[in-house]
Structure 1
Amino acid sequence: MHPTTYNAKAYSTPSATSPLASTAIKRRDPTDRDVQIEILFCGICHSDLHSVRNEWSEFMPTNYPIVPGHEIVGRVTKVGSAVTKYKPGDLAAVGCMVDSDGTCSQCKAGLEQFCPNMILTFNSPDKHVGGVTYGGYSDSIVVDEHFVLRVPSNLNLAGAAPLLCAGITTYSPMHHWGVTKG
């Protein structure tokens, strides 16, 4: 059963050579484990441009229309009934993933980025409503709670957005391998 949807505003492109343009998209209403976020800031990563231009077609072909963006910071507007870590009004962030199967050995080891069924923030099969996922060049997004990060209220939100890509890329391996000061 597909969840109900709502209308959202986004910037998308229908082809590798077209500019981004304002468009309407459908977002799913939150399921039990989902967090709906009003997007306040979304960074622009060169990976977004590679995807828009279909420059990675050999290993990750672009599905058009595409709504890029994976450096997302915003405010929680709605949560599903099983969500325990967030409530409306919280500041939150989303990086390059919005879901995984949660059951494979990679997920159970906390390595969802290696899940064979991971769902990227944009241009991945959308297991909830069909089609593909749409990214952060939008006014809102709905994400599984496990892939939402809390943002401290004293952090500059515009400056925090790039941390969801470049920051995580450098932090994650250091954290995983226990790198400490010195």
Structure 2
Amino acid sequence: MPPLRMAAIGLLLVLVTLNLGSFTLSLDLVGWLMVVGGLHALVGLGKWFVWARNLAAAAVVLELVLWISPVQLINVLAATFSRVTALAFVFCVCTALLLRLGKSERAYAITLQVVRVVVPLVTLIAAASAVLELPAGLAGPLYPIQLVGTVVLAVVLWMLSSRYSYSN
């Protein structure tokens, strides 16, 4: 499987959470492991792929902490660091891809630029709305925007994986 395609599938799995009564099954750990595996093959292509892979690996560690930690304070800190790691990951992977695109891929470049700015910005606004008392109407659409941004990024990764060879 091409590395970017594996990373795209991993990103989509990170979005999957199944609520089964009192049990919640999250595929975050599997998704982040796939992202790490996909990006590991690309680290020779530049420092931004290295950063993206390392941030995905940090997300794996944080998901493990969330999964096994019985202490609520540790869970709160791990969840916060996990969100920060995810937004930094989006920035790094978009930057890595932007540096590899040619001049003829303007549509991909614009899409990646928008995702690179919007997803982290919306994540920061969502974090601020959790701490500050912002109007209720502002916080409502933030999660769907993050969701759409992540899906768009996964689609771009998928499409670029079939058009380009990102291997050494």
TM-score of the superposed pair, with normalisation by structure 1: 0.27
Higher strand share: 1
Higher helix share: 2
TM-score of the superposed pair, with normalisation by structure 2: 0.28
